[in-house]
Amino acid sequence: MYNNLCLNPGQFLFKKCPLKKPTKCDPKDLDTFLKEQLKEKDSVFSKQLDLFYIRLVQWIVKMNSDQMQDVKLPDRERSFNTEFLKSRANLIIAGLDLATELKRNVKTLILMYQICGKQP
């Protein structure tokens, strides 16, 4: 009885969720699946770039808006400066997220072309 209570984590996981169960989500033919995915991603890539461009323009407009101007006047409240910095930081983070998302989409498409052995 003591041996049953003292399972190490690996044995416990092996008993509860063994790794040898067949998965139903794997594609039957990986090469065919990748080629289909490449066709799909390639067909929507130009539309995605257009959407990224629109989002980038919106981000630039927000960054350059009059509300985001850092005017240093002596009568400005400290809370205004704090809100300005918070807004600016959030916009910078949103810009970095946008750039990361764009990079991932481009990189995924390039890697899929390489894997499938095709030219863009």
Where do the structural domains in the chain lie, given as residue ranges? 23-116
Could you read off the pLDDT of 37-53 as tens digits, one per residue? Answer: 899 999 999 999 999 99
State the average pLDDT for the chain: 81
The arithmetic mean of pLDDT across residues 60-83, rounded, is 70
* pLDDT attached to residue 12: 73
* 63, 120 contact by CB (below 8 A): no
pLDDT score of 1 more than 50? no
Number of Cβ within 10 Å of residue 35's Cβ equals 16
- Residue bearing the bigger pLDDT, 28 or 93: 93
Lowest model confidence (mean pLDDT) among 31-35, 67-71, 77-81, 94-98 = 67-71
Could you read off the pLDDT of 5-19 as tens digits, one per residue? Answer: 566 776 777 777 766
85 pLDDT band, cuts 50/70/90, is confident
